[in-house]
Amino acid sequence: MVIQWYPGHMAKAKREVTEQLKKVDVVFELVDARIPFSSRNPMIDEVIQQKPRVVIFNKKDMANLKEMEKWYAFFRDKGAYPVAVDAKHGKGLKNVEAAAIEATREKFEREKAKGLKPRAIRAMIVGIPNVGKSTLINKLANRAIAQTGNKPGVTKQQQWIKVGKSLQLLDTPGILWPKFEDQLIGKKLSLTGAIKDSIVHLDEVAIYGLEFLIEHDYEALLAHFKIDVPRDAEMLTWFDAIGRKRGLLQRGNEVDYEAVIEALIYDIRNAKIGTYCFDLYSEWQAETDA
Ligand code: G4P
């Protein structure tokens, strides 16, 4: 999905989502499990405030489970309930309802004490583009409801979908903007396909991805491309090796670097080499401590 964000646009999206939140008991904040920090809207805490929150790590099929679990602590500290799903293949969906029940337990106990009748928990999904909001809604509803390519904010015509025994979900998600400002976050968003390629330099994205793999999964990188390159080789040596092995050449038998960049990004983005979390909890912690 391609969305252009302007300041007025962002303010409107924030206003609309804030308005919709009044209708629900719990918010499902959807993040990409490969970048649980970088795929958050920068103002999300301000938008959600004290509302009970389930943080859904989507695309867990492409993420590193151990690293993901470290991020759970980060969200638990905020009083949120983290769960991981793979919306595309319908994995882990039951955990969503269970977490919603946990997150709203106190609220419903208060209602019960006041003599209010039991009712379904109302929830809505909020997240940046391409984290899988529509895919998750459709899977939870068990049919095609949400369309990809919605406008930012919240689309007007809305209905509640019944999910499991105790949940009602708004059929349209709240769409908020990602963190554009930070260069490194921009590269991570591009590498995972969350933002449109044209707003970042793809060569920098490919180099970032390659450096990450050299540091964290060197052997798998060599095996994947069937190359043999020393760990400390220049970037150009890596690009040449990949290009020649894959036959990505142009006139004069020169390596076609654009094709190499594309191949690298494609393979990392689609977890062809391995499953990773590009947001490292230890790095975030060190930065915060500093
Ligand atoms: P959005 O509403 O938040 O904008 O995201 P959307 O559901 O449109 O999903 C964006 C892309 O992410 C889609 O891929 C979708 O299939 C994929 N996706 C969503 N959830 C998961 C998941 O848990 N695992 C994996 N591996 N992929 C997921 P696409 O390439 O745009 O479409 P398609 O090729 O799947 O049709």
pLDDT digits 0-9 by tens, 128-157: 999 999 999 999 998 777 766 566 777 657
Q: Which residues of 48-82 are buried (b: 16+ CB within 10 A; e: fewer)?
A: beeebbbbbbbbbbbbbeebbebbbebbeeeebbb
CATH of domain 7-170: 3.40.50.300
Cα distance between residue 175 and residue 41, in whole Å? 9
Pocket test for ligand 1, best of 89, 148, 155 (most atoms within 8 A of CB): 148
Per-residue confidence (pLDDT) for residue 230, from 0 to 100: 98
Strand partners, 169: 123, 161
Q: Is the CB of 132 under 6 A from ligand 1?
A: yes
* Fold of the 201-282 domain: Conserved Hypothetical Protein Ylqf; Chain: A; domain 2 (1.10.1580)
What's the average model confidence in pLDDT over 16-36? 97
Rounded distance from Cα 257 to ligand 1 centre (Å)? 28
**C-beta of residue 192 within 8 angstroms of C-beta of residue 32:** yes
**C-beta of residue 123 within 8 angstroms of C-beta of residue 25:** yes
* Residue nearest to ligand 1 atom 24, measured at CA: 59
Q: Tens digit of pLDDT for each residue in 65-87?
A: 999 999 999 999 989 999 999 99
Q: What is the dihedral of CA 43, 48, 52, 55, to 10 degrees?
A: -40
Q: How confident is the model at residue 173 (pLDDT cuts 50, 70, 90)?
A: very high
Per-residue confidence (pLDDT) for residue 207, from 0 to 100: 98
- pTM equals 0.95
Using DSSP's 3-state secondary structure scheme, residue 84 falls into strand
Q: Is the pLDDT of residue 264 over 80?
A: yes
Question: Poorest-confidence range of 52-56, 119-123, 143-147, 153-157?
Answer: 153-157
Q: Residue 244 to residues 82, 206, 261, 270, 274: CA-CA distances in angstroms?
A: 44, 17, 13, 22, 22
Strand partners, 255: 249
Q: Is the pLDDT of residue 1 over 60?
A: no
Phi and psi torsions of 127, nearest 5°: 180, 170
Cα distance between residue 163 and residue 200, in whole Å? 38
- For every residue of 142-168, DSSP letters joined together read TS--SPSSPPSB--SS--EEEETTTEE
Q: Residue 183 to residues 153, 189, 278: CA-CA distances in angstroms?
A: 25, 10, 14
**C-beta of residue 61 within 8 angstroms of C-beta of residue 86:** yes
Q: Which residues of 236-252 are buried (b: 16+ CB within 10 A; e: fewer)?
A: eebbbbbbeebebeeee
Residues 6+ apart with CB under 8 A from 44: 29, 126, 176
User: Rounded to the nearest 5 degrees, what angle is found at the Cα of 69, between the Cα atoms of 195 and 225?
Assistant: 55
Rounded distance from Cα 99 to ligand 1 centre (Å)? 22
Domain extents in the chain: 7-170, 201-282
Q: How confident is the model at residue 52 (pLDDT cuts 50, 70, 90)?
A: very high
Q: Tens digit of pLDDT for each residue in 188-241?
A: 999 999 987 667 899 999 999 999 999 999 999 999 999 999 999 999 999 999
Q: Is the CB of 58 under 6 A from ligand 1?
A: yes
**CA atoms in the 13 A half-sphere facing the CB of 139:** 19
Nearest ligand 1 atom to the CA of 86 is 23
